[in-house]
Structure 1
Amino acid sequence: MTISLSKGQKINLSKEAPGLKKAIIGLGWDTNKYSGGHDFDLDASAFLANESGKSAEEDFVFYGNLKHKSEAVIHTGDNRTGDGDGDDEQIIVDFQKIPSHISKVAITATIYEAMKRQQSFGQVSNAYIRLVDAETNNEILRFDLSEEYSIETALVFCEIYIKNGEWRFSAVGAGFSGGLAALCQNYGLDVEAE
C-alpha cells in the first residue's frame, strides 16, 4: 500500500520498506492551458550532497550528465513535453552504490528557459513524485504537490538522506526563483544565471 505524504513529512525507508536496494523516483506533472507560444520543458535533476548539504560538480545528475560516476544515481532521460500518462521523468537510485561521502540525494525539477519563456510552476498542475521499489515495482510512497508556486521556476521535490545508518525520505516541496542556477547555488555549485 502506498504511503501518501504531505509537505514536510518524513518517513524512514529502512523501516517502511525493509530490504529496499534500488528505487525508481518518478516525477510527473501537467501544464495548465497556457498560450505563451512555448512548450513547457520541465527537467528533473539530482544533487548528491555531503553532510553539509553541498554538492560537487561531478555529484550533479541532470539532462547534461545522466549518470553519476558511481552509478548510484541514473537519470533515464529528458522528456521535453511532459505529454502522456504516468511519470514524465525518472531517476534511479541504487542505495548500495551511493559513495560514503554522500549523505543526501535531493530530487529537483526546473523549467527550462523559464525566464525567457515567462513560465513558472504557477502554470504547472498535478505535480507529484513517487518512490517505487525497482525490484518489485511496488509504489512505496507518493508526494503530491498541492501548493501554489506562482513565481517559482525551480522546486526541490524531496530529499533522500541517511541518518543513523538508515535511509529516510523527506517531502520538501520548496520553491526557488532563479531556475537551475538558484538550485545549484543552494547546493554549493557555481553556475551562471539563466
Structure 2
Amino acid sequence: MSLPDRFQPVPKRLLSVCVLGMALVAGGCQVRPLYSDPGPVGSTSAGVTGSVRSKLANISISQPADRVSQEVRNNLIFLFGGGAGEPVHPAYSLALSVYSQNLSLALIQNATNDKSGQPTAGEIRMTGNYVLTRLSDGQVVGRGTRIVTADYDAPRQRFAVERAYRDGYNRAARELAEALNLSVAQDASKF
C-alpha cells in the first residue's frame, strides 16, 4: 500500500524551519520557582540581592498588639528568615494588623436544660492586612489582605473547650502566616 499523493513527505528544510521556530517561541517562556535566584540581573538598589528569599529575610515586622497577632508575627519571622530570626539591618518594613473572630457553628439541646443550647463546634476566622514599605525611600511596594478559617470542636469540659479554642487560634495564626508569606513573596518578586 502507498500513501495518497496529497500526503507527500514534508521536505527536511521546512521541517527544520518549523523546529527552529518552535524552539524560539519556547525560549521566550520563563517559568521559574518563586524562591529561585535570577542572578545578578535582579539585584535592587536597596542592597538586597535578587533572590526573593533574601528579600524576605530583610523584612522587619511591626510589633503586635495582642497574643494572636504575636503568633502570626512569630510564624512570619520564622518563614521569612528560615529560622534565622529578625534582620539586624532591615531593608523593608511590614506593617501587619490581625483581626480574629470566634464563631459558634452548632448548638446542641437536650431535654434537661432550658433549650438555650450549648455550643459544640466553632470556627475561628482570622484576617491579616499588611503594607510592605521599602525603608530607603518610604515607597509602598505591596499591600494585601488574607483571610483564613480554622474549625474546632467544643466538648463539654471547660478546660477542653479552652484548649480547643486556643489550638484553633494557633492553627489559624499559622495558616494566616503561611498565606501572608506567599503574598509578600509575590510582592517581593516584582521589585
Q: TM-score, normalised by structure 2?
A: 0.24
Higher strand share: 1
More RCO (CA 8 Å, sep 6+): 1
The structure with the largest alpha-carbon Rg is: 2
Q: TM-score, normalised by structure 1?
A: 0.24
